[in-house]
Amino acid sequence: MLVDNSDESWETLGRTDPYYGVLTDHRFRRENLGPDARREFFASGVSHMTELLQRIEAHLGPITRGQALDFGCGVGRLVLPLARDAAFKHAVGMDISDSMLREAGANAARELISNVEFVKSDDTLSRLTGGFDFVHSFIVLQHIPIERGEAIVHHLLHSLSPGGVAALQVPFARHVGNIREFASALRLKFKPLHCVANLVRGRPWNEPPMQMNRYDMNSLLEVFQACGMRHVTAEFLNDGGNIGAYLFARKGR
């Protein structure tokens, strides 16, 4: 049984190394995050969201540019482009980490983006109000234990307005070899082993572990069906042996 420490680990990363926590590239480590690296970090979010919306609309048709939600927004890499570049009337960034939310708010203020707000997450998304035309989540759900993650997906889809569109990235397989899989499981259970692995990889010894969970697609699609999603398209992704899919879906009217 994996230890459910995902929220605590994410808050620790938000407090100590938030940009690297969002994109695990040494260019975005706190000690390397100069003006050029910061610009590159946020430019990657603009490119990602611009291209994503184009692909979704090619499959499902136009998305109303009203209310948008980015679940697991981190420091704002993807929600700020929703508010500014994608021209949604209003955007909400939601995250479990108070430190990430504070940094995201500072980034929005720095860029003079006023049509965005940041909301603390919980498993029932109890702080959300109103319906959304677009709900999004990317490289987030794999870090949440599956039972909790499926409940969150249910609430995300339930928050969509009729005709609204969801784009949720979800992992469902991992092809990394038995030894690496076993080592990853041990690191989550035994903190000293994880600390040693961090040092071997050149990371801070106390950098927290992040779960890499895999969802059952049959179970997940049942959630989509139960929430009234009428059209679902899958775009498959492979990140170093972690196999997942972006699920694009439109809610029935």
Give pLDDT tens digits for 208-240: 666 778 999 999 999 999 999 988 999 999 877
Residue 239 is predicted with a pLDDT of: 79
Residue 4 is predicted with a pLDDT of: 47
> How far apart are the C-alpha atoms of 221 and 153, rounded to whole Å?
10
Give 119's strand partners: 94
Considering only CA atoms, which of 111, 23, 38 is closest in space to residue 72?
Answer: 23
Q: What percent of the chain has pLDDT over 90?
A: 73
Whether 92 contacts 128, CB under 8 Å: yes
| Amino acid, single-letter form, for residue 245 | A
Establish how many alpha carbons lie within 13 A of residue 111's alpha carbon, considering only the half-sphere containing its beta carbon.
22
Q: What is the mean pLDDT of residues 162-190?
A: 74
Is the pLDDT assigned to residue 49 strictly greater than 80? yes
- β-pairing verdict for 132-137 and 67-71: parallel
SS3 label, residue 3:
coil
Residue 10 is predicted with a pLDDT of: 86
What tens digit of pLDDT does each residue of 13-38 get? 999 999 999 998 999 999 999 999 99
Cα torsion 31, 20, 191, 186: sign? negative
- Name the band, by pLDDT with cuts 50, 70 and 90, for residue 178: low
Is the pLDDT assigned to residue 1 strictly greater than 50? no
Q: How far is CA 100 from CA 13, 103, 163, 232, in A?
A: 9, 5, 31, 31
What tens digit of pLDDT does each residue of 128-174 get? 987 999 999 999 999 999 999 999 999 999 999 999 999 999 999 87
> How far apart are the C-alpha atoms of 149 and 142, rounded to whole Å?
8
Dump strand ranges (E) for the chain: 67-71, 90-95, 116-120, 132-137, 160-174, 229-239, 242-251
Residue 211 is predicted with a pLDDT of: 75
DSSP state of 131: -
Is the pLDDT assigned to residue 85 strictly greater than 50? yes
Residue 181 is predicted with a pLDDT of: 55
CATH superfamily of 6-176+214-251: Vaccinia Virus protein VP39 (3.40.50.150)
> How far apart are the C-alpha atoms of 123 and 117, rounded to whole Å?
19
Q: What is the mean pLDDT of residues 94-101?
A: 97
pTM for the predicted model, two decimal places: 0.88
Q: Name the strand (E) or helix (H) holding 90.
A: strand 90-95
Which of the residue ranges 38-42, 105-109, 228-232 would you say has the lowest mean pLDDT?
228-232
Whether 59 contacts 53, CB under 8 Å: no
Is the pLDDT assigned to residue 206 strictly greater than 90? no
